[in-house]
Amino acid sequence: KAMVEVSGVTQRFGTTTALSDVSLTIASGEFVTLIGPSGCGKSTLLRLVADLLTPTEGTVHVAGKTARAAREAQDYGIAFQQAGLLEWRTVLRNVELPLELHGVGARERRARAEELLEVVGLADVADKRPSQLSGGMQQRVAIARALAAKPALLLMDEPFGALDEMTRERLQDELLSIRAREGTTVLLVTHSVSEAAYLSDRVVVMSPRPGRIAAVVDVDLPLR
Ligand code: ADP
Ligand code: ADP
C-alpha cells in the first residue's frame, strides 16, 4: 500500500525549475532518504508532500488522499531544519501541540510530551522558551514534537544537522526503534550518504538544474 505518491511533479519558482517531472512512490512502512547536492530540490519535494507548496504540475497523494486532505487530517509529523517552534509556548507545550490538535486530554498530553522530552534528552528544559535553547536543542524539540502524535508518516529535513555526534547517533537509533515499533513511514532529507545508508530502506539520489531523480538505490547493508 502506498503512503506517498508523487506523480509527474514539476515545481517552478519564477524562472527556476526546482523539480522537473518527478515521480516517487513510498510504500507504507518504508524508510526513504533523499540525498543530492544543494539546490537539487530535496526540500522542495518534502514541502510538496507536506502540502506547504502546491505543485506547478502533477499530483501528490498521502495515505490515499490529496496532500491537502492529509494535512487537514494531521496524517504526518514534520521536523524541518528551521525548527519552527512557537516562542510563546514552553518547550513542553510545543511538544504537546500535535496532541492538542488530535484532541488528546491534558493529562495524557503532558505525560506523552514529558516522555518524548526524556527521549531527546531535554526533560530538564521543559519549562523554558525555545529561544532560551541552542539551535541543536531546538532541533531536538522539533523531533519530539514530530513524533508526539505517533504519525503514520514522518517528514524530516536534515533533522540531525546541528547535533553533536553522540546525540545524533542516539536520536537516529531512537528513530529506528520508534519506526520498528509503530511501523512509521519516513521520508528524510540528508546531506550525509552514510546517514542515508544507515537509516533507510531506499535512497533516492537527486540531481540539480533542474531537480530530478538521478538514481534510486535499495539499501541492503547489515548496518542496523
Ligand atoms: P538546504 O540546506 O536544504 O539547501 P536552502 O538554504 O536551500 O536549504 O533553503 C532553505 C529555505 O529557503 C527553504 O525553505 C527554501 O525553499 C528557501 N529557498 C531556497 N532558495 C530560495 C530562493 N532562491 N528564494 C527564496 N527562497 C529560497
Ligand atoms: P535542496 O533542498 O536540495 O537544497 P531546494 O528544494 O531548497 O533544494 O531548492 C531547489 C531549487 O529551488 C534551488 O534552485 C532553490 O534556490 C530554488 N527554490 C527553493 N525554494 C524557493 C523559493 N521559495 N523561491 C524561489 N526559489 C526557490
At 222, is the pLDDT very low, low, confident or very high (cuts 50, 70, 90)?
low
Taking only the tens place, the pLDDT of each residue in 125-171 is: 999 999 999 988 998 999 999 999 989 999 999 998 878 899 899 89
Q: How close are the terminal C-alpha atoms of the chain, in Å?
A: 24
* pLDDT value at 224 more than 80: no
Round the average pLDDT of the chain to a whole number and report it: 93
Any alpha helices (H) in the chain, and if so which ranges?
42-49, 67-72, 91-101, 106-119, 135-148, 165-182, 193-199
Q: Between the CA of residue 35 and those of 56, 67, 152, 159, what are the distances in Å?
A: 23, 22, 22, 13
> Residues 185-198: what's their mean pLDDT?
93
Q: What local confidence, expressed as pLDDT, does residue 188 receive? A: 97
Distance CA 31, CA 11 (A): 24
* pLDDT value at 52 more than 90: yes
From 6, 11, 43, 46, give the residue whose CB has the most ligand 2 atoms within 8 Å, as the site to mutate. 43
* Spatial CA neighbour of 163 closest among 121, 114, 194, 112: 121
Ligand in nearest proximity to the CA of 40: 2
Q: Is 194 in the pocket of ligand 1 (CB under 6 A)?
A: no
Of the given ranges (79-83, 123-127, 145-149, 216-220), which has the lowest mean pLDDT? Answer: 79-83
Q: What local confidence, expressed as pLDDT, does residue 163 receive? A: 86
Q: What local confidence, expressed as pLDDT, does residue 11 receive? A: 98
Distance CA 85, CA 75 (A): 19
Write phi, then psi, for 101 (nearest 5 degrees): -65, -25
pTM of the model: 0.89
How much is the ipTM here?
0.73
Grid coordinates belonging to 122: 531535554
Q: What local confidence, expressed as pLDDT, does residue 74 receive? A: 85
Grid coordinates belonging to 46: 518534502
At 220, is the pLDDT very low, low, confident or very high (cuts 50, 70, 90)?
confident
Ligand in nearest proximity to the CA of 22: 2
Alpha carbon 129 to its chain's center: 23
Amino acid letter at 81? Q
Report CA(95)–ligand 2 centroid distance (Å): 28
Q: Is 43 in the pocket of ligand 1 (CB under 6 A)?
A: yes
At 47, is the pLDDT very low, low, confident or very high (cuts 50, 70, 90)?
very high
Taking only the tens place, the pLDDT of each residue in 9-30 is: 999 999 999 999 999 999 999 9
> Residues 85-97: what's their mean pLDDT?
96
Taking only the tens place, the pLDDT of each residue in 105-126 is: 999 999 999 999 999 999 999 9
At 82, is the pLDDT very low, low, confident or very high (cuts 50, 70, 90)?
confident
Q: What local confidence, expressed as pLDDT, does residue 223 receive? A: 60
